[in-house]
A = this chain, B = another copy of it.
């Protein structure tokens, strides 16, 4: 556990850099610089760049699962829980304005690279999708309908992140978040 301190630092630095600069554009040298270790030492912890990517995705999956289960406990109604999801656009506004959505931009990049870990990255989307579907089911939606709404919300969040980043427009995020929250409240107890 304690022995893996450097390894964890590498994962954390890689996570940030992959998000800010993209996976391919980020070099070992850059990560090593951030962690303040030599490039040689690097390979003691990870044999290939792909291994770091897998570790980063794995860490993001863990973090996301924890976040979702926290929302699960926090919200009093499924609508409230869904609004927790919508409001991450506000919580992470500054980062989104600069680098877009960490999930969307990674999956898009890996798709273009036709990368082996593409499926793992997509699992991040699936995590949100299934969680949202479950909330819509609790509202009273049928399974298919709930999934459709989950996808709808995911897509809107993605679009908002992309456009807000392109135009560096914080106000647009706020507007759309408000609209999405209203949309969710429109599906109040059926």
Which of A100, A109, A159, A160 has the largest number of chain B CB atoms within 10 A?
Answer: A159
21 A-B pairs with C-beta separation under 8 A:
A21-B113, A22-B24, A24-B24, A24-B25, A25-B113, A98-B111, A99-B111, A100-B108, A100-B112, A105-B108, A108-B162, A108-B166, A111-B166, A151-B167, A154-B159, A154-B163, A155-B159, A155-B162, A155-B163, A156-B159, A159-B162
- CB neighbours (8 Å) of A36 from chain B are none
Contact of A163 among B22, B105, B151 (CB under 8 A): B151
User: Which A residues are closer than 8 A to B by beta carbons?
Assistant: 20-22, 24-25, 98-100, 104-105, 107-109, 111-114, 122, 125, 148, 151-152, 154-160, 162-163, 165-167, 169, 172, 175-176, 179
Compute how far the CA of A156 lies from the CA of B176 in the bound complex, rounded to whole angstroms: 11
Shortest CB distance A121–B (Å): 8
A98 to B114, CA, bound (A): 10
Chain B residues with Cβ below 8 Å from A24 are 22, 24-25
Q: Is the CB of A99 within 8 A of B112?
A: yes
C-alpha spacing A24/B60, complex, angstroms:
25
A38 to chain B, nearest CB (A): 26
Across-interface contacts of A105 in B (CB, < 8 A): 108, 112
Chain B neighbourhood of A151, CB < 8 A:
163, 167, 169, 172
